[in-house]
Amino acid sequence: MSTPSGRNIGNILVIDLTREKIVKREASPETVKQYLGGRGFNSKALFDMIPGRIDPLSPENVLALASGTLAGTALPMTSRLHISTLSPLSGILGDGNAGGEFSAMLKFAGYEQIIVTGRAEKPKYVFIEDDEVEIRDAEELWGLTTGETVDWLRDEHGDEVSVAGIGPAGENLVRFATTMVDKYHSGARGSGAVWGSKNLKAIAVIGTKGIEPADPERFYKMAKEDIDYFNRNDFVRRIYSVIGTHYGLIQWYPSWKYFQVPLSAEELPIGLRPQDLAEYEVGRTQCFSCPLACKDVYYLPSTGEYGTASEFESIYALGSNNCITDTEEILRMEHMADEYGMDVMTLGDTIALARLLHERGILSDEDVKGVSLEWGDAEGQIQLIEMTAYRKGFGNKLAEGYRNFAKLYGEEALAYCYDVKGVNRGWYEVNFIKGIFTLSHATSTRGADHLRGRSWAYWENDKLMDIEVVRGMLEAGLPDYRKDPVGALIYGERACTLADSLGRCKGSINSWLQAVPLVWKYPVFKGTAMLLTAFTGMEFTEKDVIDATDRIYLTEMAFNVKQGIKKKHYDVKFPPEFAATERAKAQVRRHWELVDEYLERRGCDVETAYPKRETLEGLDIGYVADQIEGKEFPEWDGPVGEVA
Amino acid sequence: MFVLAVIYENCTGCHLCELACSFKHHGVFDLSLSRITILTKPEVQTSVQVYCLQCRDAACERVCPMDAISRDRNGAYIINYDRCIGCRECAYACPFGAISFEVEARPIKCDLCGGEPECVAVCPHDAIVYMEEKKAARELKKAKAAGVAYGLYGGKETSEHPRKKAEEAVEYLMKLVEKSGELDV
């Protein structure tokens, strides 16, 4: 085994589907120290294995799945499976993480990471039971929904099996198809289509080994403090465990009619309020080792189906942003997206964009023949969702996903496409809160994203929870976003990189409390260093942890450089009407000032946005500089290759 | 007399009790070494908890050919490994499947952690209680009564209805939102 203690860091499994070859290798202690695990491992694998611009749906693409370093332990909420690939949606790094039980099971089976390459000739699935790994025929599974796939594999291998895989959308190469874990947990940015392109339907895993921290007592003591904190926290118990992310409907201003109106709590239509959604709730559930239970289990009387996790994003993207307020229809759409395996945000945003383009006459009636793009037409939207999953008719265009979809209709359409590096911005505030919102979307290494750092940097939600935590964090060195937005963002990006690499959930509530442990007691990086030292038996200092997060982030930036990302791609788009105003122009000027400062402080070249050699060498990853320094890469303009 | 009881209505199937249990007894996180087992279908809220009920007239104790199982002062049946020959009879006899065996036929079962059960300490939803018998019975009754009332009213109008709970949560949230405007650090 790879680390001094033996039973805490698993092996790496490399599966070549073309040759049907399976190789197991150890994760070296150096790699653990440098890249921690989870997202860090994946980003390194992608950087090492993908030389430059390739078609994300070609066999050369790499699909990497990693459990976080601390998955499967009693440190709560540490059950995120990180899934990374060259995204068929954006054409840059595409990663996301999903909950469920897969990451713990993978760790119990003795693996840290699975790397899939090549393309199988016929549909296959992979079955893992501890040391045994097999590539099996999946012809019977091809075409099944995610729910049916999981049920089939449970019948075959027993109820304890945990499954990551795809539904029909992934098979049909929908560019925002997701990797679905245990039916309902989804990891976005198009990884599902990569599974489909590789003819890989699913990976099923059963793990029965144990995980042993190097210093068990010390590790458990900290983990238990963490559990105690969640178990006692008022916000968690009274709000989060009761309505989950639906509380965002009250607090985060869900947008109405393609980002035109942000809805305050008072303006929220009947049908979209948390209590309306609760009418359909029959229970609550959560991922492995999570004390929160943020996910609702709902029942749909009209179809007799059960679904779960109708999060804030699904309600705004499928609902309010398309002017749909029928609670049950929205839940039904959410469930359909899960069953087909599609990302609800890109799905909802792309449909809303289509509605807007049609309204403005950019999409002609001829273009949208046979489908209804009336605002608020729920039945029509259900049809559109199905057509998208199977790439039928107009659905074939929607399946290209947000920016690629707009590109089909020219510059005029692109003007209404609010993306960064090919990824829809999702809901965002036009208000320029010290620049953090736009800056954080621009600097995210997987395209526009609120979970790459912003929520931390901007104290989102924490104001509601525990002002003492904010005070403590400021005392411990967190820059105040009102005085130093760039510093605050970099801090936030480090913290989120860390959470993704340890396997800690941050998406659930994107606050400090949930992101990384022990912040109420120790500064976050120091606390994490203590945890990692106790777990791995290798000495981690606060600086080691911060350096590791920077190493991961800069490796990701360098990966994107190889995909043709230039400084100009750090721009952000506003609605054209707003962009023409003086206020918007002032915001854009300020934005570029902040981008320059950001690149400078990240150790990147301010003109090219390339990470500098000296920065990379300072982090002992000079090999990254070797691949990008002095090189020109063709400019990025979305993913290479055509499907539609 | 204290009893360990699971109020299954409260269990969401997070497995933290299993991780805590295997750690407390073996220093590892290993579901197969836990004395309590939660069988779940994780995506829907159904779980079954398998654990030792410390029966008054215990089958494991009676079938043990070596008299290796006896009750301690907390009421827990404890296996004396000096006497145990590893025949697994106790595990086969237990009507609940609450005794499992490690490698080399070493039976393992709940020992109530000497009076401080670790599973109770970590359970986020108060689904496992360790209480004086009468109190535990009352807790159980309350949980059942809430469920019955919920059923009697067709799932409506009781304090247990998710909508009711959501309304309370929203009300509390609105208060926090108001308050947060005044806070400054």
Q: Which amino acid is at A643?
A: V
Q: Is the pLDDT of residue B43 over 90?
A: no
Candidates B13, B124, B185; nearest CB to A231: B124
Give residue B161's pLDDT.
Answer: 84
| Tally of CB atoms within 10 A around A577 | 9
Give residue A521's pLDDT.
Answer: 62
Asked whether the beta carbons of residue B166 and residue A274 sit closer than 8 angstroms, the reply is yes
User: Is A346 in CB contact (< 8 Å) with chain B?
Assistant: no
User: Is A478 in CB contact (< 8 Å) with chain B?
Assistant: no
Share of chain B above pLDDT 70, in %: 88
DSSP three-state, residue A336:
helix
CB A117, CB A15: distance < 8 Å: yes
Asked whether the beta carbons of residue B185 and residue A467 sit closer than 8 angstroms, the reply is yes
C-alpha–C-alpha distance, residues A625 and A636, integer Å: 20
C-alpha–C-alpha distance, residues B72 and A329, integer Å: 57
Give which of A64, A284, A298, A313 is closest to A195, Cα–Cα: A64
Give residue A450's pLDDT.
Answer: 80
User: Is B50 in CB contact (< 8 Å) with chain A?
Assistant: no
The owner of tokens 């000032």 is: A593
Give residue A357's pLDDT.
Answer: 97
Asked whether the beta carbons of residue A239 and residue B169 sit closer than 8 angstroms, the reply is yes
CB A139, CB A217: distance < 8 Å: no
Give which of B6, B9, B45 is closest to B151, Cα–Cα: B9
How does strand A419-420 pair with strand A423-424?
A: antiparallel
Asked whether the beta carbons of residue A306 and residue B44 sit closer than 8 angstroms, the reply is yes
- Give me the residues of A, 202-231, that contact B with CB < 8 A: 208-212, 216, 220, 224, 227, 230-231
Which residues are registered as beta bridge partners of A497?
none
Tokens standing for residue A81: 């499976």
Asked whether the beta carbons of residue A277 and residue B166 sit closer than 8 angstroms, the reply is yes
Q: How far apart are the first and last CA of chain B?
A: 50
Maximal CA-CA distance, chain A: 68
Contacts of A101 in chain B (CB under 8 A): 42
- Name the closest residue on chain A to residue B150, using Cα atoms: A282
C-alpha–C-alpha distance, residues A39 and A453, integer Å: 14
Give which of A349, A189, A335 is closest to A254, Cα–Cα: A349
Which residues are registered as beta bridge partners of A308?
A297
Give residue A515's pLDDT.
Answer: 46
Q: ipTM value of the model?
A: 0.91
Q: Which residues contact A156 (CB under 8 A, 6 or more apart)?
A: none
How does strand A11-16 pair with strand A111-117?
A: parallel
Task: Tell me the backbone φ, ψ of residue A469, rounded to 5 degrees.
Answer: -65, -45
CB A515, CB A230: distance < 8 Å: no
C-alpha–C-alpha distance, residues A367 and A533, integer Å: 59
DSSP three-state, residue A420:
strand
- Name the closest residue on chain A to residue B12, using Cα atoms: A285
Q: Encode pLDDT of A4-46 as tens digits.
A: 344 799 999 999 999 999 999 999 999 999 999 999 999 999 9
Q: What is the DSSP string of B122-137?
A: H-TTS-EEEEEHHHHH
CA distance B67 to chain A (A): 31
User: Is A506 in CB contact (< 8 Å) with chain B?
Assistant: no
Q: Is the pLDDT of residue B151 over 90?
A: no
When scoring B21, B23, B29, B157 by the number of chain A Cβ atoms within 10 A, the one with the most, hence best to mutate, is B29
User: Is A108 in CB contact (< 8 Å) with chain B?
Assistant: yes
When scoring B8, B11, B14 by the number of chain A Cβ atoms within 10 A, the one with the most, hence best to mutate, is B14
- Name the closest residue on chain B to residue A7, using Cα atoms: B28
Give residue B1's pLDDT.
Answer: 85
Which residues are registered as beta bridge partners of A367?
none
- Name the closest residue on chain A to residue B175, using Cα atoms: A464
User: Is B159 in CB contact (< 8 Å) with chain A?
Assistant: no
Asked whether the beta carbons of residue B43 and residue A308 sit closer than 8 angstroms, the reply is yes
Task: State which residues of chain A have pLDDT below 70.
Answer: 1-6, 426-434, 461-463, 465-467, 507-522, 643-644
Asked whether the beta carbons of residue A288 and residue B124 sit closer than 8 angstroms, the reply is no
- Give me the residues of B, 82-141, that contact A with CB < 8 A: 121-122, 124-125
Asked whether the beta carbons of residue B177 and residue A286 sit closer than 8 angstroms, the reply is no
Candidates A76, A284, A291; nearest CB to B45: A284
Q: Which residues contact A631 (CB under 8 A, 6 or more apart)?
A: none
Contacts of A210 in chain B (CB under 8 A): 22, 26, 28-30, 32-33
Asked whether the beta carbons of residue A159 and residue B20 sit closer than 8 angstroms, the reply is no
Give residue B158's pLDDT.
Answer: 66
- Name the closest residue on chain B to residue A233, using Cα atoms: B124
Q: Burial code of B48-64, b = ≥16 C-beta within 10 A, e = fewer?
A: ebbbbbbeeebbbbeeb
- Give me the residues of A, 596-635, that contact B with CB < 8 A: none
Q: Give all strands (DSSP E) within A75-143, no chain letters.
A: 81-86, 93-98, 111-117, 124-129, 132-137
CA distance A260 to chain B (A): 24
Q: What is the DSSP string of A147-169?
A: HHHHHHHHHHH-TT-EEEE--HH
CB A472, CB A519: distance < 8 Å: yes
CB B158, CB B146: distance < 8 Å: yes
Which residues are registered as beta bridge partners of A26?
A11
Candidates B43, B125, B183; nearest CB to A184: B43
Tokens standing for residue A597: 């400062």
CA distance A535 to chain B (A): 11
CB A376, CB A325: distance < 8 Å: yes
Asked whether the beta carbons of residue A293 and residue B172 sit closer than 8 angstroms, the reply is no
Contacts of B150 in chain A (CB under 8 A): none
Candidates B29, B173, B176; nearest CB to A73: B29
User: Is A159 in CB contact (< 8 Å) with chain B?
Assistant: yes
Asked whether the beta carbons of residue B32 and residue A208 sit closer than 8 angstroms, the reply is yes
Note the helical H segments in A54-145: 102-108
Maximal CA-CA distance, chain B: 71
Chain-centroid distance of CA A132 in Å reads 30
When scoring A285, A312, A483, A509 by the number of chain B Cβ atoms within 10 A, the one with the most, hence best to mutate, is A285
Burial of B86 per CB tally in 10 Å (0-12, 13-18, 19+)? middle
How many Cβ pairs closer than 8 A exist between chain A and B? Answer: 156
DSSP three-state, residue B184:
coil
Give residue A417's pLDDT.
Answer: 93
Candidates B29, B177, B185; nearest CB to A464: B177
C-alpha–C-alpha distance, residues A263 and A265, integer Å: 7
Q: Encode pLDDT of A332-378 as tens digits.
A: 999 999 999 999 999 999 999 999 999 999 999 999 988 999 999 99
Give residue A463's pLDDT.
Answer: 66
- Name the closest residue on chain A to residue B21, using Cα atoms: A74
Tokens standing for residue A267: 């303006």
Give which of A199, A200, A160, A198 is closest to A182, Cα–Cα: A160
Chain-centroid distance of CA A636 in Å reads 21
pTM of this structure:
0.95
Q: Which residues contact A272 (CB under 8 A, 6 or more apart)?
A: A249, A254, A315, A319, A320, A325, A327, A330
- Name the closest residue on chain B to residue A75, using Cα atoms: B16
Contacts of B36 in chain A (CB under 8 A): none
CA A594, A597, A602, A608 dihedral sign is positive
User: Is A158 in CB contact (< 8 Å) with chain B?
Assistant: no
Give residue A519's pLDDT.
Answer: 53
- Name the closest residue on chain B to residue A101, using Cα atoms: B42
CB A492, CB A500: distance < 8 Å: no
Asked whether the beta carbons of residue A463 and residue B168 sit closer than 8 angstroms, the reply is no
Under the banding of pLDDT at 50, 70 and 90, the label for residue B185 is low
C-alpha–C-alpha distance, residues B115 and A110, integer Å: 34
